[in-house]
Chains A and B, each alone.
Chain A
Amino acid sequence: MLRYLASRAGQALVVLWITYTIVFVLIQTLPSDPVTIFLASDAGADQELIDRVSALYGYDRPWFEQYALQLGNLLRGEFGFSLSTGQSVLERIGSVVGSTLALASTGLLLSVLIAIGISAIAFLVDSPRLRAVIVAAPSLFSSIPVFWLGIVVLQVFSFQLRILSLFPDGSLLSLLIPALVLAIPVSAPIAQVLLTGVEQASELAFVKTARAKGARPMRVFWHHVFRSSLGATTAVIGTTLGVLIAGSVITETVFARPGLGSVLLRAVIAQDVPLVQGLVFLTTLVVVVAALVVDLITPLLDPRVLRSVGTRGVSRLGA
């Protein structure tokens, strides 16, 4: 177990390094260097200023030096300073990350509940037609644009019913409703895994026997169906984190919630490369650590599960 742990942690480090490299290559291929792009819109900027700021951020050095320099900085936990505000990248991200984490974790929780709900109903319903409708729900969920859903929800709950504040007011509802909007597309791949599990389990002899013996259907669902899909479900949740992040960016924008979404958008618009780099790297770090945790607990939940699940989640951008 210890060896497994060490090897997985090693793999995680390699993954982080590759991600850093991909992002570095992307930035190097930009039409011009970050400082020039950033300062171009500033009437007061002359070449001298551009050169000075470039030197300050190290963008005037050859690419391999930049590569090593920035990697070293990241390893020491130094994420540099935002070009647009001069604020430390960590400080900028730290000031809003809590809000995004609250939204994303609530959204994830809700999406799991929705997925369980759908699969439970599919298991319990007798009518094949009704079941066909329920089974179609996930693909429908992943086809609804999040921003459209969000705006409709605001029109209804905030303007018509007036029970939801347009501005996040810290109430439970102002967290739950955006989280629900976010959860809809995220729930799709999870529900699909669970539905497959339901389908397979329904065919199993002991499940059939249990049902025939008149065991309470919900009990059969929990004990036999859900439990056997638990490992696969956990694994697929690991791969929905990307959808979760994309969905969060859009949900935060629609609901005007502070968070990584608005920071990212502004950073991207201002071409604030250090900030974008920091955001991408930190997000990757979170995903890698989460995946590591999932990998470590999956064998505990279901020893049969190997790392081959999760090729089905196509709603990757949470659009």
Chain B
Amino acid sequence: MPRGIGALPLPGPATALSALLVLVLVAWLVVPGLFTSYDPLVGDSAEVFLAPSVAHPFGTDHLGRDVLARVIHGTTQTALTAGLAVLVGLALGTAIGLASSTLGPWADAISMRVIDALIALPAFMVALFVVSAYGAGPVSLGVGVGIGSIVLFARVTRAEVLRVRALDYVEASKLAGAGYFRQLFGHILPGAAGALIALAVVDFGAAVLAVSALGYLGFGTPPPTPEWGLIIAEGRNYLANAWWMTSLPGTFVLLVVVALGVLGRYLGKVTRA
């Protein structure tokens, strides 16, 4: 993981702000209704294309819906889709990484070639293909996008396991026989978990953007379900006469992605320290 400037794992103001933002998101996820009084699905025909104001901080859209309300209520769907993508990458990636680093040289050679293949495979093409074949929905989007992050998790897992194994307390006992899983879950995975969590946090932001890109190409969560990626992608049609519809949610997601990056790097540092 990249080390930031200054190696101290004390949270700086940027980290604190990022954590705060993520807390707000969690709150939106749990009780969205507390943060907005507008209906994210049904708009007011008399209030279409209203510019940002106190009443509508993010303006309104082509159906007269409050854009901020859609962003707030969209947290759920976004978390589902991007979360699934991260989960797919994490689960398969970790499995490949572990196989590569703990099952001997042959498994390592094979896993490394699989990793190479996944690097070479144009992930975005695969995601497009999966989503178009199965129809856009949280599952197809999550899996399609998740395939692209298997590589990252596999490589980090492998590198982390090799690092952890070099540590004294693991080196003391050999990885063999019945002790394999105990060893795996007792020492190796906990040692690698920090880096993996850090990567997962960062990957979540990347997944949101990937889902948005698919939405732009016409493969997004079908309306009316609000989802960040699609809000940004659909809003771009109105950039000329309602700039806020894509730009404000876009800026918001940008902040979230950056915040997740900051948090991810911080977590990486903390777990290494």
Contact = CB atoms under 8 A, between A and B. Distances in A.
Interface of A: 11, 14-16, 18-19, 22-23, 26, 30-31, 128, 131-132, 135-136, 139-140, 142-148, 151-152, 155, 192, 195-196, 199, 239, 242, 245-246, 249-250, 253, 264-265, 268-269, 271, 276, 279-280, 283-284, 287-288, 291, 308, 310-319
Interface residues of B, number: 60
26 contacts: A11-B113, A15-B116, A26-B126, A31-B133, A128-B5, A143-B257, A143-B261, A145-B250, A147-B233, A148-B247, A152-B239, A196-B3, A199-B3, A199-B5, A242-B124, A245-B124, A245-B125, A269-B132, A271-B132, A279-B125, A280-B125, A284-B117, A316-B152, A317-B209, A317-B210, A319-B206
Given A250-B217, A317-B209, A312 B1 contact: yes
Contacts of A11: 113, 116
A13 B217 CA distance: 32
A145 B120 contact: no
Contact of B217 (A139, A148, A242, A253): A253
Contacts of A143: 205, 209, 253-254, 257-258, 261
A39 B118 CA distance: 31
Contact of A316 (B159, B206, B261): B206
B62 interface: no
A19 B120 contact: yes
B232 A145 contact: yes
Contact of B5 (A18, A135, A139, A283): A135
10 shortest interchain CB distances as A-B pairs:
A319-B209, A246-B124, A317-B210, A319-B213, A18-B117, A143-B257, A287-B120, A147-B216, A15-B116, A139-B261
Say whether chain B's binding surface is mostly helix, strand, loop, or mixed: helix
Given A280-B121, A318-B213, A311 B126 contact: no
A155 B152 contact: no
A268 B132 contact: yes
Contacts of A30: 133
Interface in B220-266: 232-233, 236, 239-240, 246-247, 250, 253-254, 257-258, 261-262
Contact of B127 (A16, A146, A317): A317
A26 B206 CA distance: 23
Contact of B122 (A239, A245, A312, A314): A245
A274 to B, nearest CB: 13
A314 B206 contact: yes
